[in-house]
Structure 1
Amino acid sequence: MRGGTVAVVGGSIAGCALATAAARAGAGEVVVLERTRGRLADRGVGLCINNERAGELGASGALPEGIAAHRLERRRWVVRDPEEAAGRVIWEQPFPFHSYHWGLLWRGLRESVPDSVVYRQGETVTGVAGIGTGTGAAAAEVRLAGGGVETYDLVVGADGYRSVVREAVCPESRPHYAGYVCWRGNFDAARLAEIGGGADPAADSAPDAVTTVCFPGGTCVIYRIPGPDGPRVNWVLYAPPPLDGRLRFDDPTSFPPGALTPELARQLRALLDREFPPYWGRALGLTDPADTFVQPIYDLETARTTAGRLLLVGDAASVVRPHNTSGAAKALQDATAVAGIWRRCDSFEELLRGYQDARGAAGRELVALARRLGRAQVERTPAWAAMHPRDMQTWWQGQLGGAPGIGGQAMTP
């Protein structure tokens, strides 16, 4: 199929990937509508992409070459032990991933967007609607905060967990709070020398290792990522919600990044002192308060990813708990699927049907897997200190429930 006009709502990772895919596949006009006026690349959180998924995405062109990445190879699960400053290892498993800095990944994707794509920042979309009904929809319109209305042959929702487009496609879909939170942070890896370099082999001589600190009611995943000014240590800590009556846990947007209050900082410090091996407690303490934040964990699944001339990709289509480390890969896979189907189809109706068939179930399956991971690693944690490698292997396979592993699924050719 050649020609046609496409509006991509959201200019983040999913939005850039989709705009590139549509333009390269043959769309006549592609416009990205991004509500943020400043630099999206200011976000400093880390993420991981499975090596096999990265290979597939690189071959399809969805993951450009040259984006800084840090190789990871193994994952060490540790518990607090009075004789081990960095904790006692209860299991080690392969971890074939590369880690990324969100901002650097977005920058690479943004720079790869073809010049033919119009990328408009400061454009807040307040609503979308199909023109026509059902499969007979002839187009879709976008309503902007400034009062303007624009019409396109296809509108793609790449606008994340608060998706305006999803409200039109699946108005019945709502986020489900998991009952726990995620503390996040990152700091300059060179600062590890301040707490006694050499105390922990994973931090010094083996930077290819991911460390997972295990404690009753939670886990914390710690790994290196590339940064704009050198390697950084990224950490993600899952635990019961902090005790603070001012905080709400029914709203996914209730915790703005960087808004760490003194009381929240005190509760985090108490958790580290109480549950973490001393080395890792001190390591996380190196994080600047401005780089530390907390957010409720929730997920969301949709019954469909298309409606009329509307289509959902990335977090707009499904929100998966981070345990599965599949978010970025899934967004890039969605864009890859759109490009592949576009090249084979003869109409937008065929494109939308093909995308629903190819990607409709993927998000729901990832949500289900991440829920199992969350239950096992946070909600119903085992007696970690009593676990042996064979116990851990059985426990892990139970979480997978037949899935080949975490990090997302291979795409069907």
Structure 2
Amino acid sequence: MRGGTVTVVGGSIAGCAFASAAARAGADAVTVLERSEGRLADRGLGLCVHDDRAAELTAAGTLPPGIAAHRLARRRWVVRDPAGPAGRVFWDQPFPFHSYHWGLLWQGMREATPASVDYRHGVTVTGVAAADGGDRAEVHLADGGVEAGDLVVGADGYRSVVRRAVSPDSRPDYAGYICWRGNFDARRLAAVGEEHWPSEAVTTVCFEGGSCVVYRIPGPDGLRVNWVLYAVPPPAAGLRLDDPTSFPPGRVTAELAVGLTALLDHAFPPYWARVLALTDPEDTFVQPIYDLETAPITAGRLLLAGDAATVVRPHNTSGAAKALQDATAFEAAWRSAATWDEVLHGYRSARGAAGRELVALARRLGRAQVERTPPWSTMRPGDAHAWWQDQLGGAPGIGGQAMCPATAAQDPRH
């Protein structure tokens, strides 16, 4: 099928991927409506993509080559131990991933978006609706304008406006715990030493009621350290937990900061507490954890993508890969279809169950690594491997699954 007009709500990684896919597949016109007026490239969060998923997505043309990435190979699970300041490594696990800086990944995706795409900043979408008896769709804007077209893609994240039209009763559920996030210039590690931490290693610091993942990512000016700390119970310091929200970088309250310092002092090996303490307040934020599986990911001429379709807890390390796989499946469905109904059916068939499986796996990982943590201090490699397999519950690994048989299967140890 060729022709038609597509409006993509949301211009982040998923939005750029879907806009590019629609343009390549032959749309007459593609418009991206991004609410932010600022530079998305300034967002400094880290993320990881499994090597097999990256190879698959690059081959499909969805992940542009040449975007800065840092190679990771091992994941070391560490628990506090009196014998050493860096704790005891109780499991050394293969981890075939590359890490990315969110802003640099978005910038690469944006630069690869075809020039024919009309990408607009500073546009707020207030709602979407069917038009022309369901054969078209309308996007309603805060300034009173209306964009009409053949298809609307909701790539507008976990608070999706488009999701409210596709599945009005679906909203993210609070998981019962929060995560702290932070990042800083890796050159600061000179103050605490790097002998405990090879460049290709991810460290997971384990403690009762939570865990913390620490790894390096590429940055605009060299390597940075990125960390994500999950903990229960949540701090009682003004967090609103009944609606998806966060304390953005630079707005963490003094009470929250004191709580983080107390947790590091009490639960972390001293070395890793000093590592996280290198983070500036303006690069630290708090995010309650939510998840969501939306049964219908299409309705009429509306389609949900990335986090708008499913909100997956970060433990699965699959968010970016999932969004790019969604776009890959969308393009494949378009190229093999003769009508819009066939495009939407093909996309639903390819991605509906995949999203639900990711949510289920991430819930198991969250229970095991945060909500119901094991006796970390007594664990040995054999115990850890069996514990990990129980979390996977038959899934081949974390990081998302292959989209086609031709892609190499993940090692079940990952």
Structures share fold, TM-score greater than 0.5: yes
CA distance in 1 between partners of 2:132 and 2:384 (Å) = 54
| Aligned residue identity for 2:375 | A
1:316-327 matches, cutoff 5 A:
316-327=308-319
Map 1:232-243 onto structure 2 (within 5 A). Answer: 232-243=224-235
Q: Percent identity?
A: 73
Contact 1:242 1:267 in 2 (8 A): no
The CA distance in 2 between the partners of 1:265 and 1:150, in whole Å, is 44
Match of 1:365 in 2: 357
The one-letter code matched in structure 2 to 1:12 is S
Show the counterpart of 1:125.
Answer: 125
**Corresponding residue to 1:258 among 250, 255, 269:** 250
Gap runs ≥5 in structure 1: none
Mapped pair 1:94 → 2:106? no
Secondary structure in structure 1 of the residue aligned to 2:41: helix
CA displacement 1:172-207 (0-9 Å, x = unmatched): 111111110000001111111111343x1x2xxx21
Give the total of aligned pairs. 405
Match runs of 1:11-410 below 5 Å: 11-132=11-132, 137-198=134-195, 200=196, 202=197, 206-410=198-402
What is the deviation of 1:254? Answer: 4.3
Separation in 2 of the partners of 1:30 and 1:229? 33
Contact 2:167 2:296 in 1 (8 A): yes
In the alignment, the residues of structure 2 paired with residue 150 and residue 268 of structure 1 have an alpha-carbon distance, to the nearest angstrom, of 45
What is the RMSD of the two structures over their aligned residues, measured on CA atoms? 1.0
Moved more, 319-328 or 124-133: 124-133
Partner SS, residue 63 of structure 2: coil
Shift of 1:132: 4.9
For the residue of structure 2 that corresponds to 1:66, the secondary structure is coil
Q: Taking structure 1 as the reference length, what is the TM-score of the superposition?
A: 0.96
Structure 1 runs of 4+ with >3 Å offset: none
One-letter amino acid of the structure 1 residue matched with residue 344 of structure 2: L
**3-state DSSP class of the match of 2:139?**
strand
Q: What code does the residue aligned with 1:141 have?
A: E
Distance 2:256 2:190 in 1: 26
Query: CA offsets, 1:151-186, max 9 Å, x none?
Result: 100000000001010000011111111110000001
Counterparts in 2 of 1:18 and 1:325: CA distance versus 1, 3 Å:
same
Question: AA paired with 1:70?
Answer: H
* Unaligned residue ranges in structure 2 (runs of 5+): 406-414
Distance 1:175 1:312 in 2: 14
Q: Could you tell me whether the CA contact under 8 Å between 2:9 and 2:155 is conserved in 1?
A: yes
| 1:310/1:190 CA distance change after superposition, 3 Å | same
Distance change >3 Å, CA 65–CA 254, structure 1 → 2? closer
Counterpart contact for 2:246–2:286, Cα < 8 Å: no
**Within 2, Cα distance between the matches of 1:368 and 1:393?**
20
Over residues 261-287 of structure 1, what are the superposed CA-to-partner deviations in whole Å (9 max), with x where a residue is unaligned?
111111101100101011100000000
2:408 aligned residue: none
Structure-2-length-normalised TM-score: 0.96
Decide whether aligned partners of structure 1 residues 261 and 327 sit closer, same or farther in structure 2, where only a CA change above 3 A counts: same
Aligned residue for 2:368, secondary structure, equals helix
Question: How far did 1:251 drift?
Answer: 1.8
